[in-house]
Amino acid sequence: MPINYDTDLNPAQAAAVLHESGPLLVIAGAGSGKTRTIVYRLARLVEQGTQPENILLLTFTRKASQEMLARASHLLHRGLSQASGGTFHSFAYSQLRRFANFAGYGNGFTIMDRSDATGLVKEARERLALGKGDKAFPKRDTLLEIVSKARNKERDVDQVVAAEYIHLLPYAEDLSRIAGEYAALKKAHALLDYDDLLFELERLLVAEPQVLAQVTARWRHVMVDEYQDTNLVQARLVKLLAGEERNVCAVGDDAQSIYAFRGANVANILAFGQTFPGAAIVRLEQNYRSTQPILDLTNRILENAREKYDKHLFTERADGALPEVVRTISDASQARAVMEKLSELRRDHALHEIAVLFRAGFQSYPLELELNKLGVPFQKFGGIRFTEAAHIKDVLAFLRLAVNPADLSAWRRALELVRGIGPKTALAVAQAAITGDGATLAKHAKKRPALAEILALIERLRAERPEPRRALDLAIGFYTPILMELHPDDHPRRQQGLDELMGLSAPYRDLESFLADVSLENPGEEEQAGREDALVLSTIHSAKGLEWPAVMIIDLVEDRFPSRRALQKPEDLDEERRLMYVACTRARDRLVLFVPESIYIRHLERHEPVRPSPFVLELPRECYQEVREGFGGRLSAVPGPGERPARLDASLAPRRDEPGQSATPVNGAAARMGFCTHKIYGRGKIIEHIAPDKYRVNFQNFGLKVIVAQYLEMEDA
């Protein structure tokens, strides 16, 4: 039975599927049936007489190509085993094998896996005698990562280091030498890593016209999935494979190009029309995932992109709840607000149907703490779990010892941070500390000054018993040089996690309660595998390609989303905008955006006001329902346009009185120089009333602040 393309496809999908010949670019908006379009086009080509062996389907995972070919086979009621489908790398490998003599590999070559490649990088470093005895020198995994990035982005190693590994800049010259030695070793031993496969195939096709002619004669139609994720060499390979007939169909979405850190180049899809003049462009804009209110918001996010293919997502699901923008008092209270919203969402959705997304892994730490406290199961994807991070455990060990000097495991963890102390010595020193064996402690401390410093820190914490925030400040200050030595490759990322830990400690007044909460363990990842009652926590990069009925996105403020580095370059800000678009389009029915009004700044030891993400500021008010957190932690909807007026600009920011405002002594308790309490700043003395609804308050650790009344709890006179 012939396939009915008119009834099975919407008009845009049909236009892409029925396109006859020549270059075709399909801009497939999120949730627009991209895979369905590719499957039907595969079937259409065969139905129109193209032999399966003349079709090449390039994808980014083998599973994707296998699924597409299987679905096309089902449509045609015949096998498509002769069609070629797979990743760029697997295709390159097969062609280098096929034309080994032309490629200069007549005697064979070996493909290295990651383990082989890291071993060879290590050998290159050792041959050059670089970094010997220098614990801060990048480890071999990071060396390979830098070399691979430089290759994929086709940039010099020192350029990659300056842009993405600035803390390793002193080693840039050495890293360049290692990259050169690594390349020489590969060539000498006929070894190729995954990156080499693509470049070697390109070299072969350019250098050997007869090989290129055979390849393009074999594959008359080339289809490429996720074209927005191609790097520079992949795009050049596509152009070579298209040949003179130029029967290439690229499918992708410029708005979902979020992997620049891996080498993906959004310019490939944006410049498709210049690469293939006369190319047809079809836009898939009908969405089959989200409600129209969610799509209205995501359309607005893309409006201010510098370079893009214009598209307007729409759906037949016209009804649905407005997305919500929840403005919380701080990043600390944000986690509690997420829990309140979670309780509401669970009335309509199972736990596994709800996802919390974030820009960076450390941003979920406060939420993980709340989930652990309440025993809510969760699974985390992308970024390490709060309770599993080595640097978090290291710092907490000092605090544990301040509370319980007999904590053997904490002693071991703290002591093994000292160079030269292994498990055996750590056990001996720990036992001496627990039993009060001063002579043994003195003997070991004399040999290792760092040990004496650790013992002094623990003794100080035990004697002073400071509040958790102060205790962490002391512990992190001591630990930071150790962190840089233990983790030279990624200590800036880990430092962000420690700063987040400091923020978590702000509401606590004693070490015992703080440690009790952060030590509560959520069931392990393995234990939760396959469970259907676990909340999903995920970085946005890990969430691409997935969807949930309800999605919450947290930390939508400057410096966090977009990241601080992205604010410095227009192209990086564009990618952050696309990341926001990807996050929002994961939602089917409910979308909730969280915007803290202040975040904890560790070096200032306090919360400071912060600007909302520009992606939120750009949204028209009619696109969302605004919700604010009140002093008691309750969330309340704010009236929208045309409804009862409400003050929407309440801020925790200290500022001068606006012109025209009167400052008068407050009546009642305040007139008697009364006191109040604020959720972040603590207890303060009321100085004056600023009509109509603000107070000037002097907080002991923060000075004068002007605060809206709803955020203050007044003490009885």
Lowest mean pLDDT of 300-304, 589-593, 653-657, name the range: 653-657
For 49-58, 126-135, 523-532, 570-579, which range has the lowest pLDDT when averaged over its residues? 523-532
Confidence band of 615 (pLDDT split at 50, 70, 90): very high
| pLDDT of 509 | 84
From residue 422, how far is each of 381, 415, 447 by CA, in Å?
33, 8, 14
Mode of pairing for the β-strands spanning 675-678 and 682-690 = antiparallel
- H-type helices in 387-508, by residue range? 390-403, 408-415, 423-435, 438-447, 449-464, 468-486, 491-505
pLDDT given for residue 703 in this prediction: 64
Report the run of H or E that residue 88 belongs to, with start and end. helix 88-98
At 531 the pLDDT is: 54
Q: For the residues 615-621, what does the mean pLDDT come to?
A: 94
Binning the chain into helix, strand and coil, the percentages to the nearest 5 are 50, 15, 30
Instruction: Give residue 503's identity as a one-letter amino acid code.
Output: G
SS (H, E, C) 372-383: HHHCCCEEEECC
Please name every residue paired with 124 in a beta bridge, in sequence order, or none if there are none. Answer: none
User: What confidence score (pLDDT) does residue 717 get?
Assistant: 58
Q: Residue 688 pLDDT > 90, yes or no? A: no
Q: Which CATH number applies to 299-383+529-637?
A: 3.40.50.300
CA-CA-CA-CA torsion sign (435, 439, 441, 443): negative
Cα distance between residue 680 and residue 700, in whole Å: 12
What is residue 144's predicted lDDT score, i.e. its pLDDT? 93
Q: Which residues fall within 8 angstroms of residue 666, CB to CB, at 6 or more apart?
A: 686, 688, 689, 695
Residue 339 in tokens: 């829990």
Angle between helices 408-415 and 449-464 (to 10 degrees): 140
The answer to whether 201 touches 237, Cβ cutoff 8 Å, is: yes
| Span 471-514, pLDDT tens digits | 998 999 899 888 888 887 778 888 888 888 887 787 788 888 88
656 has pLDDT over 60 = no
According to the model, what pLDDT value does residue 296 have? 96
Taking only the tens place, the pLDDT of each residue in 224-246 is: 999 999 999 999 999 999 988 89
pLDDT tens digit sequence for 250-269: 999 999 999 988 889 999 99
- Range name among 25-29, 62-66, 180-184, 443-447 with the lowest pLDDT average: 443-447
Mind listing the pLDDT tens digit for each residue in 410-458?
888 888 888 878 888 888 888 888 888 888 888 888 888 888 888 889 8
List the end-to-end C-alpha distance of the chain, in Å, as a whole number: 86
Query: In the chain, pLDDT over 70 holds for what percent of residues?
Result: 91
For the cut 50, the answer to whether the pLDDT of residue 689 exceeds it is yes
33 labelled ligand-binding: yes
Which pLDDT does position 178 carry in this prediction?
Answer: 94
Q: Which uninterrupted H or E stretch holds 552?
A: strand 548-553
What mean pLDDT is predicted for residues 87-97?
91
Closest CA to 620 of 193, 325, 348, 192: 325
DSSP tag of 323: P
Q: Work out the number of other CB atoms within 10 angstroms of the CB of residue 187.
A: 11
- Top pLDDT among 326 and 498 is at 326
Mean pLDDT of 13-18: 95
Q: Looking at 120-220, which runs of residues are DSSP E strands?
A: 191-192
- pLDDT band at 655, cuts 50/70/90? very low
d(CA 94, CA 103): 12
Query: According to the annotation, is 383 in a ligand binding site?
Result: no
The torsion of the CA quartet 147, 361, 544, 167, rounded to 10 degrees, works out to -20
pLDDT above 90 (res 581): yes
Q: Where are the beta strands (DSSP E) in 301-344?
A: 324-328
Is residue 566 annotated as involved in ligand binding? no
pLDDT at position 673 is: 55
Average pLDDT over residues 52-63: 91
347-371 tens-digit pLDDT = 999 999 999 999 988 899 889 988 8
Share of the chain above pLDDT 90, in %: 46
Residue 653 assigned to a binding site: no
Q: Find the mean pLDDT for residues 644-656.
A: 36
pLDDT of residue 293: 97
CATH tag, 386-521: 1.10.486.10
DSSP states along 484-546: HHH-TTTHHHHHHHHHHHHHHHTT-SSHHHHHHHHHPPPPPHHHHTT-SS-EEEEEHHHHTT-
Asked whether residue 660 is marked as a ligand-binding residue, the answer is no
pLDDT in tens, 502-560: 877 877 888 888 887 776 554 444 444 445 689 999 999 999 989 999 999 999 999 89
Contact 109, 191 (CB under 8 A): yes
Q: Is 263 annotated as a binding residue?
A: no
Q: How far apart are CA 35 and CA 27, in angstroms?
A: 12
664, pLDDT greater than 50:
no
SS3 readout for 336-373: HHHHHHHHHHCCCCCHHHEEEEECCHHHHHHHHHHHHH
Give the pair of three-digit tokens for residue 344. 């509401």
pLDDT class for 326, splitting at 50, 70, 90?
Answer: very high
Q: What is the pLDDT of residue 511?
A: 87
Q: Which residue has the higher pLDDT, 581 or 473?
A: 581
201, 92 contact by CB (below 8 A): yes
Residue 652: the pLDDT is: 33
Bridge-based pairing of strands 280-284 and 606-609 is: unpaired
pLDDT confidence band for 663 (50 / 70 / 90): very low
Average pLDDT score over the chain: 86
Please say whether the beta carbons of 556 and 230 come within 8 A.
no
Q: Are 336 and 325 in contact (CB under 8 A)?
A: no
pLDDT value at residue 642: 60
Architecture of domain 5-101+196-286: 3-Layer(aba) Sandwich (3.40)
Bridge partners of 596, per DSSP, are 328
Average pLDDT of span 151-168: 90
Q: What is the pLDDT of residue 485?
A: 81
**Is the Cβ–Cβ distance between 255 and 585 less than 8 Å?**
no
Question: At residue 325, what is the residue type?
Answer: V
